[in-house]
Amino acid sequence: MGLEAADWTVVADNVLALVRIDSEEPYWAQDAAKHLTAEGITVEITPRLREAIDEEWTWANYPMPWCTRSEIREVSNEAQKIHDDIRNGQLLIHAHAHDGHTTVAVGTYLRRVGKSVYLHGENHLRQVADTFDSPAQALLAFEKVHGEEMRPGPAPLTDTERSAAEARTPLALTGARPEPALPEPETLPVYLADAGDQDALLDEFIDAHGEFEKWRTWSDETTHAIHESQTLRIERVHETQDRETAWTIAAYETPVSDRMWVLTATGATPAPVLQELLNHLADGDGWDTAIGAPVDERTVAAATQPLSDAGWKHTFNGHGIRWTSPDGEAGVQFDPLTAQRPQNSATWTIWAGTGPDRPAWAVTASPHTPSSLLADLSETLAQETGLRRPQSAGTGRRTSLVTSPPAVPVVTGRPATSRSR
């Protein structure tokens, strides 16, 4: 009863889950443990949860950098209360809009007659920006500012809100259906392989190379791996769509200079391609290049020689020079028109699918990306194979039935860490 009063949700017999949109579950789990202990109830905190409670972390790009840690928690807790009031039907949202930066909304508290509020922000940053004496007054003021963008009712759920709602779903409702047997994977050219577990791929790379320091943002959305020289930086964005940028790798002449080159990869990039890329970066000088070095015929030839040797078709088109795999399923394109602009991130494009305009996955690279790195990727594309598991009905994600409750309360989500491995 005490946990339910503190907004823990019953998800199965004797199992409660704490779900928050501000990722402060470890802090409030500890708070709940203190209150239960004060009531004479024996509480055990697992080592993993204790580690999360004690973990040091920082906010990335927090919009209120002047706030102390306790002040940040106070802001996010107020946002949590607003979220809970909306979810529980205590705060009725009349309309919403997007002000060009974030979501804004206007609503009325049903249990506080006449109190209407103007809300600004999303998730852990939502705040009450203004109050009004009546819903009519609030709606008139809102329409005056956001008339063209104004839409009735609440805004669509954010990804964070949707994940929180799913985490509160009773576990027993998922059923105890057995998982279907997974089909045997096929061996195919590497550019048709599965993306695999890319988070695990990065973790293994960092574990094996102590010269890289791991840092994960507070929102838990992005992981950074930074070389000890501070001149090579890897950014991995989690939970991206197949065609969205999931990896950004950039090299710098000095820790404070402009970047020399940048390479990006989308979420569906095959695991073997990413593995080859990381293997190249592990070579101490394998990612260095002379800033300002011209991109000439010799550079292009060195980068693409493995493709030519493997019989990839070499053509010229309006966008530059293109090499296409014998089966037409993949390609590499060099755009000489952008090669003289160092900051252009798509002088080189590697893709699989119908073309670089709408690929199944793509890697782009700026002009001064080392030709040795590009040559290694070309050789991987031309020579290597990978695995792809056929898609079949019933192979989607499924929540399994909990047959026996855990010994401690369930906690979903945890703050990201700035601590390196």
pLDDT mean across residues, the chain: 82
Asked if residue 357 belongs to a domain, the reply is yes
The two structure tokens encoding residue 401 = 């039935």
In the chain, the number of structural domains is 2
119 and 256 co-located in one domain: no
Q: What is the pLDDT of residue 418?
A: 37
367 versus 183: the higher-pLDDT residue is 367
354 and 235 co-located in one domain: yes
Q: How far is CA 201 from CA 103, 188, 198, 275, in A?
A: 35, 20, 5, 7
13 versus 15: the higher-pLDDT residue is 15
84 and 211 co-located in one domain: no
**Mean pLDDT, to the nearest integer, of 343-360?**
85
Half-sphere exposure of 200 (CA within 13 A, CB side): 5
164 and 232 co-located in one domain: no
Domain containing residue 242: 187-388
pLDDT over 90, % of the chain: 38
Asked if residue 42 belongs to a domain, the reply is yes
221 and 311 co-located in one domain: yes
Which regions of 82-122 does DSSP assign to beta strands (E)? 91-98, 103-109, 116-120
158 and 205 co-located in one domain: no
Q: What is the pLDDT of residue 12?
A: 84
Q: Which residues pair with 264 in a beta bridge?
A: 248, 364
Confidence of residue 142 (pLDDT cuts 50, 70, 90): very high
Indicate the pTM of the whole model.
Answer: 0.53
73 and 8 co-located in one domain: yes
Asked if residue 182 belongs to a domain, the reply is no
Q: What SS3 state is found at 412?
A: coil
158 and 201 co-located in one domain: no
Q: Is the pLDDT of residue 179 over 80?
A: no
Q: Is the pLDDT of residue 86 over 70?
A: yes
Q: What SS3 state is found at 38?
A: helix
Asked if residue 417 belongs to a domain, the reply is no
Q: What is the pLDDT of residue 402?
A: 30
Asked if residue 174 belongs to a domain, the reply is no
Pairing of strands 222-227, 232-237: antiparallel
79 and 196 co-located in one domain: no
Asked if residue 270 belongs to a domain, the reply is yes
Asked if residue 418 belongs to a domain, the reply is no
Confidence of residue 178 (pLDDT cuts 50, 70, 90): low
260 and 406 co-located in one domain: no
153 and 205 co-located in one domain: no
Q: Is the pLDDT of residue 345 over 80?
A: no
Q: Is the pLDDT of residue 27 over 50?
A: yes
Tens of pLDDT, residues 278-305: 999 987 655 665 544 567 888 899 999 9
